Amino acid sequence: MAAHATTEETHTGEIAKPNTAWIWRVFGILVGITAVEFVFVFLMHPSTLRNSIFIVLTIFKAFFIVGEFMHLKHETKGLIWTILVPVALLIWLLVALITEGSFIGEVLQNMFK
Amino acid sequence: MAQPTTLQPPAASATQDAPRTGNWDGGNEPFKASYGKLMMWFFLLSDAFTFAAFLTTYGMIRHKHEVFTGEAKDFVFNSRWWPIPDHVFNAFPGMGHANVPLGFVALMTMILILSSVTMVLAVEAGHRMDKSDVQKWLLWTILFGSTFLLSQAWEWSHFIHGTEAGTRMADGTVFHGANLSVNQYGPVLFADLFFFITGFHGTHVFSGVCLLIWCFIATTNGTFHKRGHYEMIEKIGLYWHFVDLVWVFVFTFFYLV
């Protein structure tokens, strides 16, 4: 402890031991999910199923980053909902406009047929 | 300046209300998060709106374009259809013309996830008031963040200069690389969205690195130690994780799908 205590510190208490096992566990999960994504990139032909797998795995990664690293999982219910509800609306917007994009594309490609 | 400098206690009367101590009556933290952290969350929510607007635009424009339906090995760049990402992003620094589909972007993703980990470690050290550990992990985070920025600069440069073969455009000329109005990979909007989305994310990483450098200087000067807590590291950590989170989505929607 004394090795890395500098002189001007006003803090007098002992520095506690680091508690980092959970951080490395979350890191392992994130790296694992990314590795699985690469397995799917090279072993599966592009399809709606493959894209759905990617999106589900991305949401898993987001869950661990926001829940553990950003600590949201351990905040009050009120704060969790304050963040999640607007984001849910954004996902609605995303799905709606992607559907709209497919429709516009279909119309444009068939316009002169 | 006739106003009294201190608030006078109201005259005692039988009708005076008891002091209000409810959650939303002021003087306490309803979400058990400090003002600064709460505002950082709300800022990040608004930033999520911006990035969601970008990704929604990307999704809509991509679905508006034709999809290449043949075998992946027969794929050629053409402005008719949206490019297959592992045919565009297949170069690796120092490996010349080797075909390394998505190799470099995998490395960039690892670097950014690692920087998120060292950021949590800095926050954790801050909770223990361990100044030298905070300094150590902040430096690692700055290093990984800067490495990510340099990687992105290389990625952009490669994207802009393009391949030697290039693509024959509609007017018969061969075009190499990309700019905002013409590119060799596919529809014009593909390159535009690449520049805007990864560029906006890169700007966020750059701001994050600047904030981290400031944090490192303040930690070294003992500012947070004298204050008695390292909450500033937590707030900047929230921002940094958000930037990592955005990359996770950009990675999926731009490079994988």
CB B200 within 8 A of CB B51: yes
- Is there a contact between B56 and A102 if contact means CB atoms under 8 Å apart? no
Per-residue pLDDT for chain B (257 aa), expressed as one digit of tens each? 455 555 555 555 556 677 777 777 777 788 888 899 999 999 999 999 999 999 999 999 999 998 888 777 778 888 888 998 888 998 898 887 788 888 999 999 999 999 999 999 999 999 999 999 999 999 999 999 999 999 999 999 999 999 888 888 888 899 999 999 999 999 999 999 999 999 999 999 999 999 999 999 999 999 999 999 999 999 999 999 999 999 999 999 989 98
**Which of B 154-193 lie inside 8 A of A, CB atoms?**
none
Chain B residues near residue A98 by CB distance under 8 angstroms? 56, 59-60, 63
Domain that holds residue B166: 35-256
What SS3 class is residue B81? strand
Contact B190, B81 (CB under 8 A): no
Tokens in use for B127?
């909770």
State the Cα torsion B150-B154-B159-B164 to the nearest 10°.
Answer: 180
Bridge pairing between strands B81-82 and B66-67: parallel
Number of domains in chain B: 1
Short-list B33, B252, B227, CA closest to A58: B252
Lowest mean pLDDT of A22-26, A61-65, B64-68, name the range: B64-68
**For residue A42, which residues of chain B lie inside 8 Å, CB to CB?**
101
**Helix or strand run (H / E) with residue B197:** helix B188-220
- Looking at the whole model, is its pTM more than 0.80? yes
Domain membership of residue B13 (yes or no) is no
Domain with residue B207: its CATH number is 1.20.120.80
In a domain, B104, yes or no: yes
> Between A9, A55, A100, which is nearest B60 by CB?
A100
- Averaged confidence pLDDT in chain A: 87
* 3-class state of residue B67 by DSSP: strand
Q: Is B231 on the interface with A (CB under 8 A)?
A: no
Q: Please, how many CA atoms are within 13 Å of residue B92, restricted to the half-sphere of its CB?
A: 13
Question: How many CB pairs below 8 A link A and B?
Answer: 151
Q: Is residue B156 part of a domain?
A: yes
Is residue B138 domain-resident? Answer: yes
CA dihedral angle for residue A37, residue A25, residue B207, residue A72, rounded to 10 degrees: 100
| B18 domain residue, yes or no | no
Q: Residue B159 and residue B178: Cα distance in Å, rounded?
A: 6
Distance CA B130, CA B108 (A): 30
| Residue B12 domain-assigned (yes or no) | no
Interface probe with A: pick from B248, B249, B251, B253, most Cβ of A within 10 Å: B248
- Is B21 a domain residue? no
Nearest to B248 among A38, A58, A87 (CB): A58
Model confidence band, residue A63 (pLDDT cutoffs 50, 70, 90): very high
Q: Chain A partners of B46 at a C-beta cutoff of 8 Å?
A: none
Judge whether B100 lies within some domain: yes
- State the pLDDT at residue B21: 77
- List residues bridging with B178 in a β-sheet: B183
